[in-house]
Each structure stands twice: as structure tokens, then as C-alpha cells.
Amino acid sequence: MAKEITGYINLIIPAGGANPSPPVGPALGQHGVNIMEFCKAFNAKTESMEKGMPIPVKITVYKDKSFDFITKKAPNSYYIKKALKLKSGANMPGRETVAQISQKQIRAIAEDKMTDMNAKDIEGAMNIIAGSARSMGIEVVED
């Protein structure tokens, strides 16, 4: 018989940086989950990733206070900023442009994130990444 689920927790935690301080501690504590057990498991799973990369994680909490978690790829904006070596996007997207991104760079990001994206094919994923770039004030250019 399957365990009864009592809730889900969605967090974005830096890779290898889970600790009991906010936001992790309070989010897990209110569901009665062992915070240190989660932190150790998360840090072990993400130790091979780039240190500090923001990792979205979905934690499933069960009635007996046990948990499972699924890690996803970093947000689109993280990959775009990393590819262009930017600190941030435009302050006024649509009015100002801070950089240009090529279709080749967009394809590389889309191929890396394809498992987590809601797209049928690589072209659909590329459109999603290009939309994220435009919303950050980055111009999408042809190769």
C-alpha cells in the first residue's frame, strides 16, 4: 500500500547549500520533516553540480513525516546569465537591451533543460528560452 501524502513543498536551494536556516528550516519544520536529514540528502545529491547553482526542488511529505524529493534544472534566467556572463537582466526590459544571445546559445540551453521543459520538441524549448531572454532585456539574434 502506498504512503499517504500530506503535502508538497517547492523551494529553490543553492546546490550543496541546504542548511536549517530559512527558507529550508521553516518550510520543512511546519510539516514535521527532519530538517537535517533533508539537508544531508540534498547536499549529497547536488555535490557534483556547480556550487551555488539555484536548484528547484519539489519535496513530497508523507503522513509518517518521511519525505522524497525531486531536483530539477536551474531556472532559464540562470543559464542565460551564465552563457552571456551577465550579473542581471535589464532594469526596464522592452525599453533597454543589455546583451545579445545567439540561436546557437539558445539551442545549447534548450538541449540541456529539455528534460524539465514543457515542450514537444527542441524548437518549442528554444522558443521558451528565447522568450525568457527577451523578458530579461536580451536581444535574440540569428547566428
Q: What is the pLDDT of residues 123-136, one digit of tens each?
A: 988 999 998 888 88
Give the CATH number of domain 5-71.
3.30.1550.10
Q: What is the pLDDT of residues 15-34, one digit of tens each?
A: 888 888 888 888 888 888 88
What is the rounded distance in angstroms from the CA atom of residue 82 to the CA atom of residue 126?
17
Q: Is the pLDDT assigned to residue 143 strictly greater than 80? A: no
Domain ranges of the chain: 5-71, 76-141
Q: State the pTM of this model.
A: 0.81
Give the residue-averaged pLDDT of 55-61: 92
Give the CATH number of domain 76-141.
1.10.10.250
